Structure 1
Amino acid sequence: MSQFTVVKMAGLLAEPLTQALLLLFVGLFLILRGRRRAATLAFVVSALWLWLASTSMVANFLMSQLEHDYPPVAAQNLPHADAIVLLGGAIRGEVSEDTLADMSGVGDRLIFAVAAFKAGRAPAIVVTGGAKEGFVPEARLMRDILVTLGVPSGAIVMEVRNRVTMDNNRFTRHTLAAMEAKSVLLVTSAFHMRRSLLVFDSLDIEVVPAPTDFQVVKGEFSLWHFLPDVKALQRTTWAMHEFAGYLYYSALKSAFFGEIP
């Protein structure tokens, strides 16, 4: 089984909707075994967890644990570096080569990378992101958007082999080495920064966090925070995925003496 498959399976199991469905199946199995009291408990826990995961209260709490170490920084206040590394995930759907892609919910990454480049923080942007065979690599789609936003094509370097965050340890490492980059600004969503730094800390370069796409907006607490909302469920899902990914990457790093294979 490939690392890509393992990572995707682990991410799926970390999602609240998957966990709630698994509990439902457990409840059905217990009913078939005649254990109605245990089945009822499984059903109640499933419904309770799905409700909690769908509330802004839980989503904000989980996201705040991921984001609080990486506060917002204005692009013009970032230090100078040899390159900006823009992580993938900012493109929604599959498109053909002659179509400008749509940005996903984390498309702020692209905007912030452009802002940092135009502020003169680095002379080049390295865009990362591969694709399934037969599809256009995400890095190429992001390059097209960057060019549309005013970044010269000659200032963009594509790394098209990355499909998951840990691939940066193998592929982006070589790209940066070929550029002789000694320092980079790492642009990704604030909630994704902790796991990303775990990978980039393995590289022999200075990595400066350049977080964007913040999910927690501070405001007055209200009863609305307890009501289920599909957007809150999405944020909880992202957060759970990040926690699972961080634990997995940490385990790999420990097993391989500080390196992620």
Structure 2
Amino acid sequence: MLYFIKLMYQAFLLPPGIFIFTLLGIGLWLWHKKEPGWRLVIVATCIFYLFTTNFMASLLLRPLEQRYIPPAQPAGDVIVVLGAGALADVPNVNGTGQVSDYAANRLLTCLQLYHRLGVPIIVSGGKVFQSSGNEAEISRTTLVGAGVPADKILMEKESLNTTQNAQYIARILKSRGFTRPILVTSAFHMPRAVAQFEKVQVAVTPYPADYQSNRRLYLTIFDFIPSADALDKISLAWKEYLGLLAVRWY
């Protein structure tokens, strides 16, 4: 019973489901009144619905996330972890500032790799917006609080996007003599990140983290229920596909 209530609540009362069923109702009312344009409303509603489901999100994300597989025995002389946004003034255990959920998952994988390999870490990411925090500084504080020695962490804190991540990190790698970087970023972001590092002649070992979809396609009824989370994942995937097209120019 609770399962059924949750299903109905998520489908009919939460956005975007409530908007989809409202549009569907308008389309059916126009059809009943034999008003022109009802077909357009119904078709647009169906397309909108499809792009709010986890089924479609998985179809779009899985080709990105499965491009690279984490090596069973990773080896390198430095771990490079890319930022993904940060809040500047929220409370944290150590000072203020907090990385985004995507960045936190990347840092967790980075931390696990550090405890296995013991190599230095480069955290990358600047202050993208006036209201955001400096990603590298907050990432460093987070890692130190999790037990990584401060002298094991280098910061690249000027980059504002993936292109600059690669460019500025390449300079640090060259100046410090690192030649075998392990790149940690979200699995959906890894193809674009690798492409940017290739542009600056840096060969990386990809270690994807922060997966947003299963490697196998598991389907349940909830994968076909409209979801704001699915809409967000589809937006992520779409951004990456556009970014891959733009890599050759920027």
Quickly name the TM-score band, shorter chain normalised: 0.7 to 0.9
| Counterpart mapping for 1:75-154 below 5 A | 77-79=73-75, 81-89=76-84, 91=86, 93-95=87-89, 98-120=95-117, 123-131=119-127, 132=129, 136-154=133-151
**CA–CA separation in structure 2 for the residues paired with 1:73 and 1:42:** 49
Instruction: Measure how far apart 1:246 and its partner are.
Output: 0.8
Across the aligned residues of Structure 1 and Structure 2, the Cα RMSD in angstroms comes to 2.6
Distance 1:57 1:133, change over 3 A: closer
Aligned length: 214
SS at match of 1:206: coil
**CA–CA separation in structure 1 for the residues paired with 2:174 and 2:225:** 49
Letter of the structure 2 residue corresponding to residue 60 of structure 1: S
Instruction: Measure how far apart 1:53 and its partner are.
Output: 1.4
Instruction: Measure how far apart 1:138 and its partner are.
Output: 0.9
| Counterpart mapping for 1:9-24 below 5 A | none
Q: Determine what percentage of the aligned residue pairs are the same residue.
A: 28
Distance 1:105 1:204, change over 3 A: closer
Query: How does the TM-score come out when normalised to structure 1?
Result: 0.73
Instruction: Measure how far apart 1:134 and its partner are.
Output: 7.8
Return the match for 1:182 from 166, 172, 179: 179
Instruction: Measure how far apart 1:221 and its partner are.
Output: 2.0
Q: Which residue of 1 aligns with 2:242?
A: 244
Deviates more, 1:63-72 or 1:240-249: 63-72
What per-residue deviation string (whole Å, max 9, x for no partner) do you get for residues 230-249 of structure 1?
11111111111111111111
Instruction: Measure how far apart 1:41 and its partner are.
Output: 5.8
Letter of the structure 2 residue corresponding to residue 55 of structure 1: T
Query: How does the TM-score come out when normalised to structure 2?
Result: 0.76
Distance 1:240 1:221, change over 3 A: same
Return the match for 1:47 from 37, 45, 48: 45
Letter of the structure 2 residue corresponding to residue 152 of structure 1: P
Instruction: Measure how far apart 1:226 and its partner are.
Output: 1.6
Is the 1:90–1:110 contact (alpha carbons within 8 Å) kept by the matching residues of 2?
A: no
Is the 1:90–1:107 contact (alpha carbons within 8 Å) kept by the matching residues of 2?
A: no
Is the 1:169–1:200 contact (alpha carbons within 8 Å) kept by the matching residues of 2?
A: yes
Is the 1:73–1:211 contact (alpha carbons within 8 Å) kept by the matching residues of 2?
A: no
Which of the pair has more CA radius of gyration?
A: 2
Instruction: Measure how far apart 1:104 and its partner are.
Output: 1.7
**CA–CA separation in structure 2 for the residues paired with 1:103 and 1:135:** 10
What per-residue deviation string (whole Å, max 9, x for no partner) do you get for residues 175-215 of structure 1?
21111111100000111000000101123333100111111
Is the 2:170–2:202 contact (alpha carbons within 8 Å) kept by the matching residues of 1?
A: no
Is the 1:100–1:145 contact (alpha carbons within 8 Å) kept by the matching residues of 2?
A: no
Q: Give 5+ residue unaligned stretches, structure 2.
A: 1-15, 17-22, 24-34
Instruction: Measure how far apart 1:135 and its partner are.
Output: 5.6
Is the 1:184–1:207 contact (alpha carbons within 8 Å) kept by the matching residues of 2?
A: yes
**CA–CA separation in structure 2 for the residues paired with 1:84 and 1:169:** 13
Instruction: Measure how far apart 1:72 and its partner are.
Output: 4.2
Instruction: Measure how far apart 1:96 and its partner are.
Output: 6.8
Return the match for 2:160 from 147, 159, 163: 163
**CA–CA separation in structure 2 for the residues paired with 1:40 and 1:163:** 45
SS at match of 1:211: strand
Distance 1:41 1:248, change over 3 A: farther
SS at match of 2:96: coil
Q: Give 5+ residue unaligned stretches, structure 1.
A: 1-16, 18-23, 25-35, 253-259
